[in-house]
Amino acid sequence: MKNIYMPVEAGITGVITESATIKTFRLKPAEKIPFATGQFIELAVPNLGEAPFTPSSSPDVTDRMDVTIMNVGVVTDKLHEMKEGDIVGIRGPYGKGYPVEDMYGKEVLILGGGVGMAPLRSFLLTLLARAEKFRKIILCYGAKTPEDIIYKDQFVEWMNNPNLSVYRSVDKAGEGWNETEGVVTVLLDQFEVDLSNSVAVVCGPPVMMKFGTLKLLEKGHKPENIYLSMEKNMSCGLGKCGHCQLGPYFVCKDGPVFTYDQIQDIPGIWD
């Protein structure tokens, strides 16, 4: 019988500094771990603990897994000290990812904030690899300041990709920023989507997800077409320990990707 609590070992093969508080770790697990975009893993730091992350690499790339991590607590603090060659553990993948095939033929609007771009990068790369299947792909991304933008090099590629429209904003611009200044929701006023044939995919800090969703609804997007990555305090990732309970759902099993209509009646979803 498989032991569902034991991680698979993975070596760190690269560390990329994205911003002052965010790093991307390239991982090579001891055995291949296929995943669907939007699923998450429990990343284990030896002798310390685990934390849940959604891989930021495309599932089409099978010989490595990237995780983009912000330093906020005990586990992530230790992770940020780790280097190439160090060993971590991976359990997973868990949960329901983004239903990419349901989005074929549609316009896909991606709304990301801060480190919320991590799962969205995996999703975006998945879309771009089969861009002809989607009517349009639009990426709106917001960060606090230009320094806080992650995947800076990749954004240059994305902004030159004919299959993708990119809109960016920062809360506080400073010198040299010639794109939008303001919260990311202001970007939604800069273009039109075909509301009868589109989906919106949102990920970022809770307050950004709340106002992003509200703005999307205001603009006419339907609740069943708004996809949210509801990250919660996970412990087991297996639908057993109760920590990630969101109303009647376990985010680790029934999510982390939910449509807004599934969760709109549950109190406290944006806390």
Partner 1 sequence: MVPNDLFVLSKDQWSTFLKKTASNYEVIAPKDGPYHLEYERIGEEETDTIVFPGARLTRPLKYFFYPPRENVSRDPSPPDKKRVIFGIKACDLAALSILDNIYLDPDFVDPFYKTRRDNAIIVSDDCTKPLENCFCVLIDGTPFATKNFDLSLSFIEDQVLVELGSEKGKNLLDNAGIDLRKAGEDLLNRRQEQRQAMIEQLKEQNKDFEFSPEKLPELVKEMYDSPMWKEICETCVSCGACSNICPSCHCFLLTYNQSEDKKFEVLRTWDSCQSAGFSRVAGGANPREKLPSLFQNRFQCKIHYKPRNFGVFACTGCGRCNEACQGGIDIRRVLSLVAGEATSKST
Give the footprint of partner 1 on this chain (CB under 8 A): 1-7, 9, 44-51, 72-76, 87, 89, 206, 231-233, 235-236, 238-245, 247-248, 253, 265-269, 271
* Other CB atoms within 10 Å distance of the CB of residue 36: 17
* Closest distance to partner 1 from the beta carbon of 171 (Å): 17
Residue 145, SS3?
coil
Minimum CB distance to partner 1 smaller for 34 or for 248: 248
d(CA 213, CA 202): 8
Q: Where are the beta strands (DSSP E) in the chain?
A: 8-17, 22-29, 40-45, 49-53, 65-70, 87-94, 107-113, 136-143, 165-170, 180-181, 198-203, 226-229, 245-246, 249-250, 257-259
Structure tokens at 60: 């089409």
Minimum CB distance to partner 1 smaller for 153 or for 271: 271
Minimum CB distance to partner 1 smaller for 52 or for 55: 52
* Closest distance to partner 1 from the beta carbon of 157 (Å): 30
d(CA 177, CA 262): 38
Say how far residue 217 (Cα) sits from the centre of its chain.
Answer: 21
* Closest distance to partner 1 from the beta carbon of 247 (Å): 7
Minimum CB distance to partner 1 smaller for 67 or for 269: 269
* Closest distance to partner 1 from the beta carbon of 262 (Å): 13
Closest CA to 137 of 129, 127, 146: 127
Minimum CB distance to partner 1 smaller for 48 or for 61: 48
* Closest distance to partner 1 from the beta carbon of 64 (Å): 20
d(CA 177, CA 146): 7
Closest CA to 110 of 30, 13, 229, 3: 229
Minimum CB distance to partner 1 smaller for 146 or for 239: 239
* Other CB atoms within 10 Å distance of the CB of residue 191: 12
* Closest distance to partner 1 from the beta carbon of 102 (Å): 21
